[in-house]
Homo-oligomer: A and B are copies of this chain.
Amino acid sequence: MSAYSQLCKIASEISIIESLGAAVDWDQETGMPGDAISFRSRQQAWLSGKAHSLFTSKRFLALLDRCEAAADGLGEVERANVRVWRRQTNRATRLPKKLVETFASTCSKAKGAWVAARQNNDYLAFKPHLERILGLLHEKAERWGYTTEPYDALIDEYEPGAKAALLANLFDTLKPALRDIAKQAVQLSQAVPASLLEGDCPVERQQILNREVAESVGFDFNAGRIDTTAHPFCTRLGPRDVRLTTRYDVRDFTSSLFGVLHEAGHGMYEQGLHADDYGLPSGTAVSLGIHESQSRLWENHVGRSRAFWDRWLPRAAELFPHLAKLNLDDFLRAVNRAEFSFIRVEADEATYDLHILLRFTLERRLLNGELRCDELPDAWNDEFHALFGTTPPDYKRGCLQDIHWSMGALGYFPTYTLGNLNAAQLFHHAMQDAAIAHSAGLASYEPLLTWLRQKIHRPGSTLAPLDLMKAATGEPTTHLWHLEHLRNRFLS
């Protein structure tokens, strides 16, 4: 067997192990009995240990050496897989086991402390945990290595190849335009009452509509399903097994429906990856910024469009008769209402990225040593005021609102805005194809999905995110199309 085939065999075993982890993780979120948690942690630890030791084994590394030495004999996809494996094993082998374990247990404690601190609005109770996490993240960044600043080493975990300095430029360009759009959008939306869509929305009826819509945009229920959780997510348990989750607001069906469109966007990306390459980089999603482009595209560009509701509003009104009183214009104004919110996860399209810009700035300053943890709450409030013109009334609605930092996930937030930019860019370029645009105008999305499959899903991780965007659209990720989209949607 060739060295490359042997690598694939080990990778396939790792993928089985990781898929088992995904399966029990999914179970933990969807309905595991409470007392099962401690054994579940032991299962996860065993699986992580097994996968890690296979991936960083002398055998795997030696096989990588052999493939690199004989790379000429490999095809393009094979070479890409070897390249990604090398990058990933470099990262994995550079962290000593002790650091990985300390980081895991520190974050586990920090997560518990964060839940309590947020509940009690008590930043000081969380601060020492954040300090410990930052210390460990510094150590990780030093071991992983970086050229310019530690942030680069961390974001690479979520968005391979991204650089803080470039992101900062991009976000600096976005900032004034986003503030301007947000301000105007919120003002214009004041004419739309917040309660316009409210009425009786029984869960079973929402489930009917969610399924019809997810199926119609192309989510494959033979290879997936939808369950209920407090925090919606999408996960893949195998090459043909994608699980979405949602939650229900019994007064407003759109909350769950847009959530399902969002998760189905993630899910169709996973379903569009080469099943035969499951467990190989070529069969794996490339980055969070690309993943989020798929969810945001289906949620916002498709799901909040006039063509979409021209088709679906009559069906929604059959299931939820109180909607019969709304015409399409009213309805669209309601689902595209903008409003300032202290809370990121409640933010609409017009204001969302401002929340990300704030977090990126603060994370980078924390990691560069320009901001101390005891200065964080004030810095948050100052930055928030500069962006939104108002100050959060408490920490719960300020610097304690997100779970990410308690999980040690610094460098994660920018991928949300990258996702928005990529979504707009992909949608814009796809719509240059007359057939895709024509179908989309009739709320029929097979041509669009086919285009995304070919341009974004099929390559897996064989192209870096920016190269993937360039190959798909002719340009690397840019701010232009997202701003144009927001202006068209909210200001025209």
Contact = CB atoms under 8 A, between A and B. Distances in A.
Is the contact region of chain A dominated by helix, strand, or loop, or is it mixed?
helix
A43 B22 CA distance: 12
A239 interface: yes
A459 to B, nearest CB: 22
Interface in A1-40: 13, 16-17, 19-20, 23-24, 27, 31-36, 38-40
A357 interface: no
Contact of A16 (B42, B227, B237, B242): B42
Contacts of A222: 33-35
Interface in A232-291: 237-242, 278
A146 interface: no
A17 to B, nearest CB: 8
A52 interface: no
A223 interface: yes
A235 to B, nearest CB: 12
A283 to B, nearest CB: 12
Interface residues of A, number: 35
A18 to B, nearest CB: 11
Instruction: Report the copy number of this chain in the oligomer.
Output: 2
B33 A225 contact: yes
A16 B43 contact: yes
A237 B23 contact: no
Contacts of A31: 225, 227
Contacts of A43: 16, 19-20, 23, 238
Contacts of A34: 222
Contact of A40 (B24, B227, B238): B238
Contacts of A20: 20, 23-24, 43, 47
Nearest to A227: B31
Contact of A240 (B36, B225, B227): B36
A54 to B, nearest CB: 12
B19 A241 contact: no
A33 to B, nearest CB: 5
A232 to B, nearest CB: 17
A242 B223 CA distance: 27
A225 to B, nearest CB: 6
Contacts of A16: 42-43, 46
A224 interface: yes
22 contacts: A16-B42, A16-B43, A19-B39, A20-B23, A20-B24, A20-B47, A23-B27, A27-B27, A31-B227, A33-B222, A33-B223, A33-B225, A33-B240, A33-B241, A33-B242, A35-B222, A35-B223, A36-B237, A36-B238, A36-B241, A39-B239, A43-B238
List 6 tightest A-B contacts by C-beta distance, closest first. A36-B241, A39-B238, A35-B240, A35-B223, A35-B222, A16-B46
Given A20-B23, A33-B225, A36-B237, 8 more contacts: A19-B43, A20-B20, A20-B24, A27-B237, A33-B223, A33-B224, A34-B222, A36-B241
